[in-house]
Amino acid sequence: MVLYYSIVFGLLIFEMTLFGLMVFPFPKKWKRAALMKIDESGIIRRNQYIINIVGFFVFILFIDSVNRMIRATEEVNQANLADPRTDTQLHVKKFYSQRNMYLTGFTLFLSLIINRTFAILMDLFYVQEELEKFGEHSPVEHKDVKFYQESNDKQEKQIAELLKELDDLKRKDRDFELLKKQADNQSTEYNRLADQHNDLEKIREGRAEESKKEI
C-alpha cells in the first residue's frame, strides 16, 4: 500500500475508534464531561484548518481512485474482449483501485458522520445543562410560578362563570321581550274588543231611547 493510502487507512482506524467511543453507552455524566471538556478547550476550533486540509487531501485521493477504477475497469473489459485469458495484473490493478476508492470514500463519509454526531451530542448536553440549572432555582421562584398558575386557573374559571351568566341574562332578556310583545298584542286586542263593546253599548242605548220615544 502506498504511503498516503496507509495514512488514510490510519485515519480511518482513528475515526472508527473515535466514533465508537462517542456512541458507546458510557455513563452519561462521564461522556458529557469528556465531550464538553473537549468542546470548551477549543482544540477542534484551533485545529480546524489542519482538519480541512486533511479532508481536502482525502477528497483528492477519492477522486483519483475513482478515475483509476474506471480506467482499470475499461482495461479489463477490453482485455476480456480481446482475449478471454485476461492478465491477472489487470484484475489486481482493478482490485487495488476499488480498495482505494472504498478506503477514501468511507473515510470521508465517516468524518462527516463524526462531525454531525458531535454537534448533536453537544446540543443535547447543553440543553440538559440548562434544564438542570433551571431545576436548581430557588423554591421561591417555583412558588411564584405555582401561584401564577393557580391565579390563572381561577381567572379562567371566573371568566367561564361570567360568560355563563351573560348567556343566562341574554336568554332572560329574549324571554322578557317575548312576554312584552305578547302583552302588547293582548292589550291591543283587549282595547279593540273594548271599543267594539262600547260601540255595541252605544247602539243598544240608542235603540232603547228610540223605543221610548215611539211609546
Structural domain boundaries, residue 170 = 145-214
> Structural domain tally of the chain?
2
Let me know whether 133 and 167 are in one domain: no
d(CA 66, CA 98): 8
Q: Which of 77, 105, 137 is the last residue of a domain?
A: 137
| pLDDT tens for each residue of 100-127 | 899 999 999 999 998 888 888 888 888 8
Let me know whether 62 and 132 are in one domain: yes
In the prediction, which pLDDT does 87 show? 67
Q: Which three cell numbers stand for residue 160?
A: 367561564
| pLDDT tens for each residue of 161-198 | 888 888 887 887 777 788 778 878 888 888 888 888 77
Crossing angle for the helix pair 3-23 and 48-82, to the nearest 10 degrees: 120
Let me know whether 45 and 128 are in one domain: yes
Q: Which amino acid is at 40?
A: E
The segment with the largest mean pLDDT, out of 8-12, 38-42, 82-86, is 8-12
pLDDT-derived band at 56, boundaries 50, 70, 90 = very high
Q: Which of 83, 105, 137 is the last residue of a domain?
A: 137
Q: Are 59 and 108 a contacting pair, CB within 8 Å?
A: yes
Q: What is the pTM of this model?
A: 0.54
CA distances from 39 to 11, 19, 45 (A): 21, 16, 9
d(CA 201, CA 215): 21
> Buried b vs exposed e over 69-78: b needs ≥16 C-beta within 10 Å?
beebeebbee
Let me know whether 14 and 104 are in one domain: yes
Angle at 41 between CA 39 and CA 44, to 5 degrees: 60
